[in-house]
Amino acid sequence: MSNASLVTVFVLTGLPRAPGLDTPLFAIFLVIYVLTVLGNLLILLVIMLDSHLHTPMYYFLTNLSFIDMWFSTVTVPKMLLTLASPGGGAISFPSCVAQLYFFHFLGGTECFLYTVMSYDRYLAITYPLRYTSLMSARACALLATSTWLSGALHSAVQTTLTFRLPFCGPNHIQHYFCDLPPILKLACADTSVTETVIFVIFGVAASGCFLLIVLSYVSIVCSILRIRTSEGRRRAFQTCASHCILVLCFYGPAIFIYLRTGSRDTMDGVVAVFYTVLTPLLNPIVYTLRNKEVKNALLKLKAKAHFYRE
């Protein structure tokens, strides 16, 4: 961090909006946040209690649910505080650093995790007879650990590059949380080199992961088309559809925000809010409404709870 950083407190002003929208936005964000936390906790509980779901696919899904729960928690409570009170937008310099770091740490980890999940589906469908040996418990643990370590390193580089710049002037961030684009606008120095380096780092990581996912699914589709029965093809496509939906909803907004040079307008903030608030809710919705195994596990859990109450 630079010693020239004289700003000790940032103020999150949110996005341009009519004052009368604060209460409706507070209610909407609160409901979505509660549903996100409860939905992902429910997935974690169901997978933990149902032995039929103790497979590599659901092992990675527990990691995804855990990430989404905290990804939302890093930013949404501060959004709610900003909307609820006039002074709620104040955030100390160290807290802003921490928020940006954990936001990109969890986001980066999720990016790498989606790649691992596509690799898991590739092995399951392309090499069904060797799948158990290829995706052993040790292999799953190593892959999951690598995603967390990669996310931590990825975020550490971006956070360090951002906050080693001097911040000595304006301290109002036109956003609901500390993120790279609005913070770089406040630096008292030329940010072009820093922005280019961050753009390249993020671009290489995101495009690399997305390319691997696309290649995995090209191989998966080729393997599915070789399945003789229509029922077998339908089940294979259904298994992968949920993951594809989440990948598109995750990568679309991220590419829109971070891989467009010079884009620092209000639309980026709106997309970022969607990306932060709504995307973590999609995981429990997609995996409960579209996944037959999870729905069956939920029904069994409900039956057990009803039995114990009686």
Residue 191: inside a domain: yes
Residue 1: inside a domain: no
Number of domains in the chain: 1
State the CATH number of the domain containing residue 243. 1.20.1070.10
Report pTM: 0.87
Residue 279: inside a domain: yes
Residue 91: inside a domain: yes
Region for residue 286 given its phi and psi (left: phi exceeds 0; alpha: psi -120 to 50; beta: otherwise): alpha
Range of the domain at 96: 9-309
pLDDT tens over the chain, length 310 residues: 444 558 889 999 887 776 778 889 899 999 999 999 999 998 899 888 888 888 998 999 999 999 999 999 999 999 999 888 877 889 999 999 999 999 999 999 999 999 999 999 899 888 888 999 999 999 999 999 999 999 999 999 999 999 999 998 788 888 888 988 889 989 988 888 888 888 888 888 888 998 999 898 888 888 877 777 776 677 767 767 777 888 888 887 777 777 665 555 667 667 777 778 888 888 888 877 667 777 777 777 777 665 556 5
Residue 3: inside a domain: no
